[in-house]
């Protein structure tokens, strides 16, 4: 065999081995191959984020959360109701399908209005590895990266 043919065979064997590793890893992850691809290629903004301030005012213990996937906000929690988009993008009218819990929320309406304003098509800026800024219509929200904690039903700092 010529050297060029040997090199081609080695490249094919390496590619097949890599494909088998990805397929094997994908079988053991909840989301399968999509999660493997996301882990390898996701933008740095992706993940869970908890609000720290809205327009410079501290949020305190309130749970205002967002989840970013592929650089877009896909769901969250407004300290009262959890929500997520059911569709991939807005329809022709610019509207989205939202799945949400329907708890009556009467406290802190000002913060809730700012939160809603920020989650719809905001300007997203990664200030650091752990800080994300959302801005829209003159309002600014600062969020810190967090990890969902199923036991406490909150998002805790990473």
Does 31 or 72 have the greater pLDDT score? Answer: 72
Residues 66 and 135 in one domain: yes
Please tell me the distance from the alpha carbon of residue 90 to that of residue 92, in angstroms, as a whole number.
Answer: 7
Q: 77 is in which domain, residue-wise?
A: 47-157
Q: How confident is the model at residue 33 (pLDDT cuts 50, 70, 90)?
A: low
Residues 29 and 62 in one domain: no
pLDDT at 13: 86
pLDDT at 120: 77
Distance from the first to the final alpha carbon of the chain: 54
CATH number at residue 99: 2.40.128.270
What digits encode the pLDDT tens for the residues 115-134? 887 777 788 999 999 999 99
Residues 60 and 138 in one domain: yes
Please tell me the distance from the alpha carbon of residue 29 to that of residue 33, in angstroms, as a whole number.
Answer: 8
Residues 74 and 147 in one domain: yes
Q: Average pLDDT in the 87-108 region?
A: 75
Residues 67 and 27 in one domain: no
Quote the distance between the C-alpha of residue 24 and its chain's center. 25
DSSP-derived pairing of the beta strands 82-85 and 98-100? antiparallel
Q: Is the pTM of this model over 0.85?
A: no
How many separate domains does the chain show?
Answer: 2
């Amino acid at each position: 065999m010529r050297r060029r043919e040997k090199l081609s065979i080695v490249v094919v064997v390496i590619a097949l081995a890599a494909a088998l590793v990805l397929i094997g890893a994908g079988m053991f992850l909840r989301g399968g191959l999509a999660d493997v691809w996301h882990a390898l290629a996701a933008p740095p903004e992706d993940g869970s984020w908890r609000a720290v301030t809205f327009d410079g005012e501290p949020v305190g213990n309130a749970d205002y959360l967002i989840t970013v996937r592929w650089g877009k906000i896909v769901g969250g929690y407004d300290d009262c109701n959890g929500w997520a988009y059911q569709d991939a993008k807005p329809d022709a009218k610019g509207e989205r399908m939202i799945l949400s819990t329907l708890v009556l929320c009467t406290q802190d309406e000002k913060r809730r209005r700012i939160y809603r304003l920020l989650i719809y098509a905001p300007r997203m800026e990664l200030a650091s590895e752990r800080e994300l800024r959302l801005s829209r219509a003159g309002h600014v929200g600062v969020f810190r990266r967090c990890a969902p904690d199923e036991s406490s039903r909150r998002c805790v700092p990473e």
